[in-house]
Chain A
Amino acid sequence: MTTIKNFFATRWGIISVGAFIGVFAPLLQKWGNPANMGICVACFDRDIAGALGLHRAAVVQYMRPEIIGFVLGSLIAAYAFKEFRARAGSAPIVRFVLGAFAMIGALVFLGCPWRAMLRFSGGDGNAIFGLLGLIVGIWVGTLFLKGGYNLGRSQATHTSVGWLLPLTMLGFLVLMLIFPQVQGQDKSGFLFYSLKGPGSMHAPLFVSLGIGLCVGFLAQRSRFCTMGAIRDFVLFKQTHLLSGAIALIVVAFIMNLILGQFHPGFEKQPVAHTMSVWNFGGMVLAGLAFALAGGCPGRQLFLAGEGDGDAAVFVLGMVVGAGFAHNFGLASSPDGVGPYGIAAVVTGFLTCVFIGFTMRREAAVA
């Protein structure tokens, strides 16, 4: 156990986890997931919101088993290595708001950092603007961190607090089994399914779940984080997490070449638009929100799996944010930004700046 534990904390450990994701995300696309969307935490949380009817955008409704697997895989790893620690109470409302705006920013770009990397490795040039936005957003976040920004301490709490999000995910899985997709129908029980669009494209349930569980397990062990990758480099010149993210991009690029999924260009890229300024702007907002919340959307799922109730609140904020994004015309589509997308990005950025400036605490040194 100790050897494995130490291995994933090493540079080769994090690189192997990034490479694992780089292999299986493009394969998930081959096995049915949407193009350049083998894994997208924002898109998949949004699809879950759609499956539950929190928004009624007919093309993005599916209870994505990858997300369920991420949380449960992390839970299994945390218990196997005695790292499960129920904790909560570090400004939950702020984390909820950050989750909601992170999602809105990501849906203006059309992807979370994971998908930005996958889009880039699939040849989508628009992703360059998203990645640049992500870097700028995280850089702004590091300025707040340097200025003493801090959401306060979490407290150890009842074990069951840490179990609530994993149990919710288990419940989602049970719902999928009770109400499976019926060919040609957009509803099964009270779960919504897409008949066309990205929500209708998915790998077989148990393939998605299995890969999700493996990624969740490995990411919990290695602390893989796409936001931390950039943040630690900007803040400390540390390349540990960054090497994992680069491994993801490089391996996914090679896999896309092998699978014939590499299509370089800007126009007509899958589930993408060409409004560069808002590809950039959306991800500035998302990057800042992730930086202020201490983790990318994937990392928030893995933290929730190991008992972090505040990360669980961030996840719920993302799901609700997805509901807002599609109910109120904030999310983009391949045609471009939604009618209120730009206003939402500006509002979200101002909210994040307010949070960053006002929530400070002096360093706690005894």
Chain B
Amino acid sequence: MSKKIVDARGLSCPQPVLLTLDEMKRTEKGEIVILVDTDTSKENVSRAAASKGWNLGNVEPEGTGYRISISKD
């Protein structure tokens, strides 16, 4: 399984969600890791992933932000 990383740190709304949706379209299945730096982006990305049928995996603090893993079989 390939693992893609989307670095959305420092980007304004709705860029983190747009980048995540783009990568979900490209990847279709597997695991994507999204790096964000605000709680708002964390919530928005998680909500967008769930709405597209992706599973929300670990959400871990990393640096001043979060590392979000989502996956789809």
- Interface residues, chain A, with chain B CB atoms under 8 Å away: 9, 81, 83, 85, 87, 90, 145, 150-156, 223, 225, 228, 231-232, 235-236, 238, 240, 293-295, 310, 363-366
Number of B residues, CB within 8 Å of A? 28
Contact B14 A365 (CB under 8 A): no
Q: Could you say which residues of chain A place their CB within 8 Å of the CB of B23?
A: 365
Q: Could you say which residues of chain A place their CB within 8 Å of the CB of B10?
A: 87, 90, 152-155
Which B4-28 residues have a C-beta within 8 angstroms of A?
4-15, 17-19, 21-23
CB distance from A153 to the nearest CB of B (A): 3
- Interface residues, chain B, with chain A CB atoms under 8 Å away: 4-15, 17-19, 21-23, 37-40, 43-44, 47-48, 51, 64
Contact A236 B40 (CB under 8 A): no
Q: In this complex, what residue of B is CB-closest to A238?
A: B51
Q: In this complex, what residue of A is CB-closest to B9?
A: A153
CB distance from B12 to the nearest CB of A (A): 4
Across the interface, B64 reaches (CB within 8 A) one of A85, A151, A236, namely A85
Contact B19 A294 (CB under 8 A): no
Q: Could you say which residues of chain A place their CB within 8 Å of the CB of B64?
A: 85, 156
Q: Could you say which residues of chain B place their CB within 8 Å of the CB of A231?
A: 14
Across the interface, B7 reaches (CB within 8 A) one of A240, A295, A366, namely A366
Q: Could you say which residues of chain B place their CB within 8 Å of the CB of A155?
A: 10
CB distance from B17 to the nearest CB of A (A): 7
Q: Could you say which residues of chain B place their CB within 8 Å of the CB of A150?
A: 11, 15
Q: Please, could you name 14 A-B residue pairs with CB atoms under 8 Å apart, sorted by A?
A: A81-B39, A83-B38, A90-B12, A150-B11, A154-B11, A156-B37, A223-B40, A225-B13, A236-B51, A238-B47, A238-B48, A310-B12, A364-B19, A365-B5
Q: In this complex, what residue of A is CB-closest to B46?
A: A9
CB distance from B51 to the nearest CB of A (A): 7
CA A365 to CA B9, docked complex, whole Å: 11
CA A150 to CA B19, docked complex, whole Å: 11
CA A225 to CA B13, docked complex, whole Å: 11
Q: Could you say which residues of chain B place their CB within 8 Å of the CB of A81?
A: 39
Contact B8 A235 (CB under 8 A): no
Q: In this complex, what residue of B is CB-closest to A235?
A: B14
